[in-house]
Amino acid sequence: MSNVSKLINTIQNLGYRVSLKRDKIKLKFIGNGVPPKEALTILNEIKGNKSLVTEYLKNISWMDDIFRNAANEISKAFTVNAIHYAQKMFPKTYEKGITAENKINSLWDEGQDIKAFYEAVREWQDIQLKFIELLNAKKLDTVIDDVYNSPNGKPGPSQGLGKEVV
């Protein structure tokens, strides 16, 4: 399927919109001017591999839905600086997040294994929610971008004495 992915990416880069309606592949030139001559070769390859291209586009559509649903769940709990905080304070967890993202990208490019893609997106979603949870943890003193953020209003050990409110 990676060859199909390359075909789709190439034709899109040449100014075409690719979509699927039922089992019909729709290709529409939306670029400026006239379609480039090299597009004809790619269009013929797409037509010659119709069943593979159709399967790929269906899979990508399902994968898109899976990813959008996960992103919507993350956005409900989203907290600014969660990823930045995790990167600085929990680098191993942050690296797991990067690995999960790379896996998602690889599976997306292949456009084949929807179950593996779903599992990778779930793992990524769990890690993203963990970042948010870590940042929002109660009784957590943090300094992010030089802004003191203490839940109890008292300076932490690295902030100096400050003034405590009685």
Contact 155, 147 (CB under 8 A): no
Average pLDDT, the chain: 84
Q: What is the Cα–Cα distance from 91 to 159, expressed in whole angstroms?
A: 23
Determine the pLDDT at residue 87. Answer: 86
Determine the pLDDT at residue 18. Answer: 93
Query: Over 60: is that where the pLDDT of 13 sits?
Result: yes
Give the 3-state secondary structure of residue 81.
coil
**Ordered alpha helix ranges (H), the chain:** 2-13, 39-48, 50-77, 82-89, 91-110, 114-136
DSSP bridge partners of 26: 19
Query: Over 90: is that where the pLDDT of 90 sits?
Result: no
Q: What is the Cα–Cα distance from 102 to 105, expressed in whole angstroms?
A: 5
Length of the chain (residues): 166
Span 129-151, pLDDT tens digits: 988 888 777 444 555 545 555 55
Helix (H) or strand (E) holding 79: none
Worst-scoring range by mean pLDDT, 73-82, 118-127, 147-156? 147-156
Span 44-83, pLDDT tens digits: 999 999 999 999 999 999 999 999 999 999 998 877 778 8
Percent of the chain with pLDDT over 70: 81
DSSP code at position 150: -
Percent of the chain with pLDDT over 90: 55
DSSP code at position 33: S
Q: What is the Cα–Cα distance from 75 to 128, expressed in whole angstroms?
A: 10
Determine the pLDDT at residue 56. Answer: 93
Q: What is the Cα–Cα distance from 66 to 39, expressed in whole angstroms?
A: 31
Distance of CA 44 to the CA centre of its chain: 31
Query: Over 60: is that where the pLDDT of 8 sits?
Result: yes
Contact 68, 43 (CB under 8 A): no
Distance of CA 17 to the CA centre of its chain: 21
Q: How confident is the model at residue 109 (pLDDT cuts 50, 70, 90)?
A: confident
